[in-house]
Amino acid sequence: MPTDTPFTPTGTLPDPADAPQLDVAGALLALLRDATTEPRADEQLEALTLAVAADLPVLLWGEPGIGKTAALTQLATALDLPLTTVIASVHEPSDFSGLPIVGDDPAERGVPMAPPDWAVRLVRAGRGLLFLDELSTAAPAVQAALLRLVLERRIGALRLPPGVRIVAAANPRSSAADGWELSPPLANRFVHLRWTHDHEVVVRGLGGTWPRATLPRLDRERLPAAVDFARRAVCGLLAARPGLVHRLPSSETSRGGPWPSPRSWEMTLCLIAFATAAGSSREVLSLLVRGTVGDGPGLELLASMDRMDLPDPETLLADPAGATLPERGDLRQAVLDGVVAAVRARPDKSRWDAAWALLVRAVETGAPDLVVVPATTLATLRRDDWDVPASIERLAGAVSLSRRADPAAARAASASASASASAHGARAGR
């Protein structure tokens, strides 16, 4: 009878050259799969792990073959979480809502909804990473059945334990196999992250070393301040822009992505608190915020957050020599404009002089062109009995203001008189 393994006398080992070829192929495959990980700055991977730590459902969007599934597999390994993969498009709605099982007395006890086996395994384990793959190929009826699973973590009568995290992946409709747009209710339950490939990461990974996914380190002492900052950031923006509280996009494609609603703003608040406690970069926070409420509202929120930490103009006027100004040009410009506005609101010779000293410090520590507009405006606030401070000479090389202080005041007075005369003439002509 033919056999795959050649006969050898008792006590001797087979010649490696005579080993079954499938075993040799297996050894080669094992060598090819052998890879290590290394700490590496990866913004999208950090955003993913931060959302997972915050226990928010994440949806990775990317073209086929971009590495979404591989990233989730590596994440589960790094976090020591058992990975359960469910291909949404090959399941029926009852697989997520529960299968009806007739009991002994359905008239008294009703018909229970039995969960699928993978849900039972997750509950028994008490923890795990549930990966809903190919979400954009799931039919609308299946998407509707997934609503309760994603939001309430319920499948039939079973509730997933807190130790289970949910991550999904989808291809854009243009590149999905028989794809559908995500329904607005389902899309609004996810943090949407665009998954792209990094050339250096791919090259180094194919060489055997991939980035290591690690949960963010949260500073326990910063937790109360992080929550306070997140609440002030979100509530401050929505108080000023009430139209952003809920804005359902008009196009079908946009409705299948991130958009603002009370639910997604609550998720955003949570992510800001986690990112603040973890000391994450602005780039990571931007990915998370825009992936939750959309690009427009997300960018507005980020801009308002930048201004939350700007120094108080009154504090700067009280000690211009010791003032610390922002490094970013747009934030520095906003601070200087705020100082000039504070002097205009409460004009005083000492405050006017302090503002000039602050502009001098701005020129010494940053781009001189940023002081031109606030300095010109500040010059118009001079009163006749105010002497031009000596410090203004130090700005002469940048904006030549020492020679323009008096003319600027005269021009401002003339413009004001002309505007008043024009208004009076317009009223007289009625």
Residue-level pLDDT at 60: 94
Distances 116 to 91, 100, 133, 385 between C-alpha atoms, Å: 11, 11, 17, 85
Burial of 115 (0-12, 13-18, 19+ CB in 10 A): buried
Residue-level pLDDT at 63: 86
Residue 188 pLDDT > 60, yes or no? Answer: yes
- State the chain's mean pLDDT as an integer: 83
Residue-level pLDDT at 397: 60
Residue 4 pLDDT > 70, yes or no? Answer: no
Residue environment code for 389-406, b if the CB has 16+ CB neighbours within 10 A, otherwise e? bebbebbeebbebbebbe
The closest alpha carbon to 304, from 316, 317, 287, 289, belongs to 289
Tens-place pLDDT, residues 192-212: 999 988 888 888 888 888 888
Take residue 183 and report the two structure tokens written for it: 């329904």
Residue-level pLDDT at 7: 47
Residue-level pLDDT at 416: 44
Residue 107 pLDDT > 70, yes or no? Answer: no
Tens-place pLDDT, residues 163-178: 999 999 998 876 655 6
Residue 407 pLDDT > 60, yes or no? Answer: no
Cα 142 to Cα 149: distance, rounded to the nearest angstrom: 11
Residue-level pLDDT at 300: 93
Quote the pTM value: 0.73
Tens-place pLDDT, residues 228-276: 999 999 999 999 899 999 999 988 888 999 999 999 999 999 999 999 9
Residue 406 pLDDT > 70, yes or no? Answer: no
Give the percent of the chain with pLDDT over 90. 33
Mean pLDDT of 388-392: 77
Residue 329 pLDDT > 60, yes or no? Answer: yes
Mean pLDDT of 74-99: 85
